[in-house]
Each structure stands twice: as C-alpha cells, then as structure tokens.
Chains A and B, each alone.
Chain A
Amino acid sequence: MIVQMQNIRRIFGEGAARVVALDGIDLSIDPGEFIAIIGASGSGKSTLLQILGCLDRADEGSFFLDGRDVQSLSGSEMARVRNETIGFVFQSFHLLGDRDALENVSLPLEYRRGAVSSTRPREVLERVGLLDRITHRPSQLSAGERQRVAIARALVKEPRMVLCDEPTGNLDSDSGDQVLDLLSELRDELNTTLVLVTHDLQVARRADRVLTLKDGRWHA
C-alpha cells in the first residue's frame, strides 16, 4: 500500500466562516495503481490533493505514505518527501518562465540530497519526446509540449507517486490524449502510482478506479 488514509478531516476557518473541506476520508492506493478523483468545485478535491502531496496537513486522521507517518513529519521532512517520493503535474504547468526545458526538468534535483545524475534530465526529456526542445523556454513551446516538460520534471525524481491536477485542462483534445497516453505509458514502465484529479469523465475513465468527492466525503 503506497497510500493509506483513515478518517482524514480538514477544516478551514472558525465560527461562521468554518468550512469542513474533508470530512472523514478513508483512502488506500496500491503501488502502480491509477486512480481518478472527480467532483464538483468545492467538493474538496484540491484539499485532498494537497494533503496527498504533503503540501498541507490534515487536522485529524492518519496518513501513511509509503509506510511513513506523514502527520508526524516536520516541514523539512515533508519537503524531502515531496522531493523524493512525489511528482506533480499541474493544469497551468507551473514552469519557470526564464529557464529552458532542461533547466526546468533539472529543478527538483537542485534539492536532492547527495550526488545526482547529470544525464537524468536529458534522458527524461528524450523519453517524453522533447530532446530537440531542451534549450527552448516555456514561451517557445506549445501547450502540449509544456505539459510534457512538466511531466518530465515530475519523472526526473523517479517518484513513487505522481499527482496530476487537471493535466489536460489547458490542452486541446489531441494534446490532451497525447499527455494521457504518455502518463499511462510511464505508469506501466515505471510502476508509478498515478492520482489524477479531473472534471472530465472521459479522462477519468482511463483510470483503474474512479472516486467521486462530494462535500468532503466519498460519494458512491
């Protein structure tokens, strides 16, 4: 089990402004599994993704990631988990605009402890089909290419799990399909767990398992 969550609760604000974003979520994910999480706006998808990505902590409940108790980790230990265990792919790509593709892909390795392979970013870019674009900056790339750079940045860490936040949301259907194909291939090659958040049911259907969130709870 790579993810084991039990009774996760996350509450924002106090008094009248109190919002229960997640209300007793249980979740277990096996290694190499591809799951899709769908739900309406405000259903708690982004909060769950933040907790899964060690960017936020639950107020209650237990969360074990790859056997480690995330709730008890310090801030710097959570940063290390993000760097070594989790890859992120965002809807808006979130690439550094003043860096070329190779530098963007190399970014996570700046924070890797110990020696890192200097050829790894180039290899990953080659794998996503962008070897001829390594010196291009994001503004010189198409939307689909930018997302492939973002996927390469996630994979350069050799993560146990990749969290995808609407990865096809800013892409046309052809580019979206290419990106999803690529993610599926990489999952098969590397046995990486994929957690994908989306509005698009067509996209969600590609997953092994589809989970629906409603008002901070699983909806059957």
Chain B
Amino acid sequence: MMIQLVRHLLNACQRIRRHPLRSGLLALTFALGLSSVVSIVGTIEGGRTAIRHDLTALGTDLIAMVNPLRLGSVAIGIPTSGEPIGREHLVTIDERLSAITDSVSPLRVDLGLTSYGAISWRHTMVATTPGFRSVLRPGMLEGRFLADEDHWPENEEDVVPAAIDEALAAKFFTDPKEALGVEFRSIREGKAFTSRIIGVVEDPLLLRKHMSSFDATSRARSIPARRLEFLNLYLPWRPAVDVPTLVLIDSPTVDDVDSVLKEVRALVEEEGLGVYIHVQKQWTAMVLEIIDRFSGLGHFIWVLDLVVVLILTGTISLLAIEESIEEVAIRRVEGATILAVVMPVLLEGGMLALLAMGPGIYLGILILEDGIEPVLGWSTSLPAKTVAGTCLALLATSILASILPAIRVAKLEPASVLGKRRDL
C-alpha cells in the first residue's frame, strides 16, 4: 500500500516535472487565486475590526441619562415629567449603579473657547469625574486622564488641570502630543481660566481621519454630534458647583446593557426624574449589522474567487489530460489500474496547490501591506483560521478541479484509444 502510494507520488512529481508550462500555469492560477482571496478577506476583516473598534470606542455599552435642554426659559425637545438630575441625585445614582457598572460619570457640557498663541477654537468643555476614564476606550495618546487628586482650584488665578482630545490638540499643534504640559487660555460661561494639559486622549474615531463625510458633523451643534467630533477639553468636576448636563453610565459589556438599563429605568421611576434615556447600543447594533452584511459579502466574494480558480484549473487539467490520453491508454495496457492512473492526476493538483500556498499567501500579504493599507488607511487583518480555511478550501478546489480529468481517465477504454491506430 505504502509502496503504491510512493509510486503514485513519484508519478505525480514526474507529471509536474515533465510539463513545466502546464504545472507553472496551474500553480500560478492557484497562487493568484489564493492571494486575491487573502487580500479580499484581509481587507474586509481589517475594515470590520477597525469599524467595530471605532464603534466600540464610541460607546456601544453606554447609557446616557440626559437632562432636558433649555434655552433660557424655553424647554427644547419632547417635554418630560419629573425633575431633571441635580447635584443631590448624583450620590443616589452612584450608590445604586456603581456595583453593576464600570463607572457612573456626571458630565457638564458647555461650549467654550480656547486660545493658544494666535490660534483660537470653539469647542466643547466637559467637566467630569475620574471615572469617565473607563468610557475612553482607546486610552491616552500621551500623559494621563483626570484623577482623584485633580481638583478645580479654589483660587481663580490658579491653573486648572485638564485633559484634551487628540483632535482638539491637533488644531493647535502639528503633533497632538505636543499639547502635553502646555497652558491654554479658555473661556467658559463668560469666565476665563488657564488650564494645563496633563493628558492627551487618543482619538477613537479612526474613520473620521480618513472619511471626509464626517467633517459634516463639524457644523453640528447637538451634543451627540459634538460627541462624534471629540473636540473636548476635560475639566475636573466641581461637586458643589456643577450641574450635570447628563450622566453617563458605562455597562461592563454590551450584553449587560439591558440589565443595567432595567435598573436605570427603575431608578428614574423611583426618584421621579424627568430625563431622556439614550442607549448607544441600539444604534450601534444597527451599524454592526450593516458591517456583518459587508462581511457576508466578503465571504460571497471568497467563494466566488474559489469557483473561478476551480473553473480555470479544471479547464487546464482537462485540456492536459486530453493531450495525454494515449499515454494513459498505454499505461492501462501495461497494467495500470484505474486507481493507478487517477491517483497521480489528483495528487498532481494537490501538490501544485500545496506548492502555490506559500507564494500565494505571501503575495496576498504584500498586496495588503503595500497596496491596500496605504490606500484605505486602516490595518488589514488576516485571522489564522481564515487563512487555514482558505488553504484547505484551495486544496479541496485543486482536487475538485482534478476530478473531471480523473473521471475522463477512469472511463478510458485503452483498446479503443490504441485501436484507432490499428490496421487489422
């Protein structure tokens, strides 16, 4: 059995060696097919990962209790019953929810103006507690976020410790990291103060750097839109002074949002609060579903690509076997069984596919790194499981492509092939 298998392998090797053009063409088809699959899968998986990361960074597991907005004495939006969240509610909310959440952060959001040198920018100022750090998924680009020891100074002339978003820092410096340690002059609610930057918050919205459509949000003035912009200066919360614009509740995971939301609704009911409850998960889930569809399209292209490889290699193999019909007939006459002539055909396809795998994957990675990443601007991702699955699928494709020629060989009647040349 082993001797037979070795003979089949040697025969397959001979077939490859004796027909270098055909073998090269088949291997090239396999390699190009594999590289295109790798580059398509890598691009789609990378895009999916990048978008998921960005969406997660935006807060897929966040619940916001938003106080109704007022313009002077005029309420904006749908009227609510109950009273807005005040300073006196914050302790109750924190006690009730801190055990089942990562953080409960009151946020006071104001529009303000910050100047440095000859540059001034209008942006949002967010006063919050150190717990807000858990909401900042990408983390810090440089320095640290506000901590317990960072307080608003009692003396108005003293410097206020502050953290700044990467995007806002980029308005003042070529390299946002240069903002660390810099003192800005700002105005909030008509009062001027000096802030010193203790940390630069990394911009979570990678897409915004590359997609001009997001620039449209710069003209928006709503809080959610401002949140998208991430042009924030983070300032210490003043417990005795600041009134929350909203309270941001960070659930441990997306799966916990529903249970936390239930607790929040019960709390709102019990405390008689008149707030809007905004759940990020709901809209991000829709976006993630779209991404999953995008990923499904990738898998369709993946299959389509393999089918094209199957057709091409199958055609080449079939043409090759048609050319070697007489040789097969001679082998059959000399004692080759059907298995003995079919096996080398199948093994030849499998061996060529194996030979093409390394170069195919390498070429695919080159396309990803040098061709696709610089254009799209996000890191491509190539899961090992996907690569292994693609290689297995290619191997199966190569064997499938050899089946037609193998069937042709198996059906061959050597006497009828060789008999055409007889003159009896």
Question: In the complex, what distance in Å separates the CA atom of A95 from the CA atom of B421?
Answer: 13
- Mark interface residues in B21-33 (1 if CB within 8 Å of A CB, else 0): 0000000000000
Is A129 in contact with chain B by the CB < 8 A criterion? no
Is B175 in contact with chain A by the CB < 8 A criterion? no
Is the beta-carbon distance between B423 and A98 smaller than 8 angstroms?
A: no
Q: Which residue of chain A is the closest to B419 with respect to CB atoms?
A: A46
Interface bin, chain B: 20 to 34
Excluding A111-B7, A111-B340, A199-B423, 8 further A-B contacts by CB distance (< 8 Å) are A41-B424, A55-B415, A75-B338, A88-B333, A111-B335, A111-B337, A166-B422, A166-B424
| Stretch of B75-83, B251-259, B324-332 that contacts chain A | B324-332
- Number of A interface residues in the complex (CB < 8 A): 36
Q: CB within 8 A of B335: which of A50, A80, A166?
A: A80
Residues of B382-424 at the interface with A, using a CB-CB cut-off of 8 Å, are: 413-415, 418-419, 421-424
Is B192 in contact with chain A by the CB < 8 A criterion? no
Is the beta-carbon distance between A75 and B337 smaller than 8 angstroms?
A: yes
In whole Å, how far is B2's beta carbon from the nearest beta carbon of chain A?
12
Q: CB within 8 A of B339: which of A55, A76, A153, A199?
A: A76
| A82-B333 in contact given A55-B415, A75-B338 (Cβ < 8 Å) | yes
Is B18 in contact with chain A by the CB < 8 A criterion? yes
Question: In the complex, what distance in Å separates the CA atom of A50 from the CA atom of B413?
Answer: 11
- Mark interface residues in A80-96 (1 if CB within 8 Å of B CB, else 0): 10111000101110111
Is B336 in contact with chain A by the CB < 8 A criterion? yes
Is the beta-carbon distance between A83 and B424 smaller than 8 angstroms?
A: no
Give chain A residues whose Cβ lies under 8 Å from the Cβ of B338.
75-76, 79
Question: In the complex, what distance in Å separates the CA atom of A1 from the CA atom of B340?
Answer: 31
In whole Å, how far is A84's beta carbon from the nearest beta carbon of chain B?
7
Is the beta-carbon distance between A111 and B423 smaller than 8 angstroms?
A: no
Question: In the complex, what distance in Å separates the CA atom of A49 from the CA atom of B422?
Answer: 12
Q: Which residue of chain B is the closest to A39 with respect to CB atoms?
A: B424
| A111-B424 in contact given A55-B414, A56-B415, A94-B330 (Cβ < 8 Å) | no
Question: Which secondary structure dominates where chain B touches chain A?
Answer: helix
Is the beta-carbon distance between B336 and A111 smaller than 8 angstroms?
A: yes
Is B379 in contact with chain A by the CB < 8 A criterion? no
Is the beta-carbon distance between A166 and B423 smaller than 8 angstroms?
A: yes
Give chain A residues whose Cβ lies under 8 Å from the Cβ of B332.
79
Question: In the complex, what distance in Å separates the CA atom of A165 from the CA atom of B414?
Answer: 15
Is B194 in contact with chain A by the CB < 8 A criterion? no
In whole Å, how far is B102's beta carbon from the nearest beta carbon of chain A?
70
Give chain A residues whose Cβ lies under 8 Å from the Cβ of B329.
94
In whole Å, how far is B413's beta carbon from the nearest beta carbon of chain A?
8
Is B334 in contact with chain A by the CB < 8 A criterion? yes
Give chain A residues whose Cβ lies under 8 Å from the Cβ of B330.
94-96, 107
Is the beta-carbon distance between A90 and B337 smaller than 8 angstroms?
A: no
In whole Å, how far is B57's beta carbon from the nearest beta carbon of chain A?
63
Is the beta-carbon distance between A79 and B336 smaller than 8 angstroms?
A: yes
Is A208 in contact with chain B by the CB < 8 A criterion? no
Is the beta-carbon distance between B415 and A45 smaller than 8 angstroms?
A: no
Q: CB within 8 A of A108: which of B7, B334, B418, B421?
A: B334
Is the beta-carbon distance between B334 and A45 smaller than 8 angstroms?
A: no
- Mark interface residues in A189-211 (1 if CB within 8 Å of B CB, else 0): 00000000101000000000000
Between A and B, 30 residue pairs with Cβ closer than 8 Å are A41-B424, A45-B424, A46-B419, A53-B333, A53-B415, A75-B337, A75-B338, A76-B337, A79-B332, A79-B340, A82-B333, A84-B335, A90-B421, A90-B422, A91-B421, A92-B418, A92-B421, A94-B329, A94-B418, A95-B330, A96-B330, A107-B330, A107-B331, A108-B334, A110-B11, A111-B335, A111-B336, A111-B340, A114-B3, A165-B424
Interface residues of B (CB under 8 A from A): 3, 7, 11, 18, 326-327, 329-340, 413-415, 418-419, 421-424
Q: Which residue of chain A is the closest to B340 with respect to CB atoms?
A: A111
Give chain B residues whose Cβ lies under 8 Å from the Cβ of A31.
none
Q: CB within 8 A of B333: which of A45, A55, A110, A166?
A: A55
Give chain A residues whose Cβ lies under 8 Å from the Cβ of B419.
46, 50
Question: In the complex, what distance in Å separates the CA atom of A93 from the CA atom of B421?
Answer: 10
Q: Which residue of chain B is the closest to A92 with respect to CB atoms?
A: B421
In whole Å, how far is A158's beta carbon from the nearest beta carbon of chain B?
13
| A88-B415 in contact given A76-B339, A166-B424 (Cβ < 8 Å) | no
Q: CB within 8 A of B337: which of A79, A96, A166?
A: A79
Is the beta-carbon distance between A83 and B418 smaller than 8 angstroms?
A: no
Give chain A residues whose Cβ lies under 8 Å from the Cβ of B18.
98
In whole Å, how far is B185's beta carbon from the nearest beta carbon of chain A?
86
Give chain B residues whose Cβ lies under 8 Å from the Cβ of A199.
423
Question: In the complex, what distance in Å separates the CA atom of A53 from the CA atom of B165?
Answer: 88
| A50-B337 in contact given A91-B423, A110-B7, A165-B424 (Cβ < 8 Å) | no
- Mark interface residues in A112-123 (1 if CB within 8 Å of B CB, else 0): 101000000000
In whole Å, how far is B99's beta carbon from the nearest beta carbon of chain A?
75
Is the beta-carbon distance between B334 and A91 smaller than 8 angstroms?
A: no
Is the beta-carbon distance between A82 and B335 smaller than 8 angstroms?
A: yes
Question: In the complex, what distance in Å separates the CA atom of A107 from the CA atom of B415?
Answer: 18
Give chain B residues whose Cβ lies under 8 Å from the Cβ of A98.
18
Is the beta-carbon distance between A50 and B415 smaller than 8 angstroms?
A: yes
Give chain A residues whose Cβ lies under 8 Å from the Cβ of B418.
90, 92, 94
In whole Å, how far is A216's beta carbon from the nearest beta carbon of chain B?
13
Question: In the complex, what distance in Å separates the CA atom of A183 from the CA atom of B11?
Answer: 31
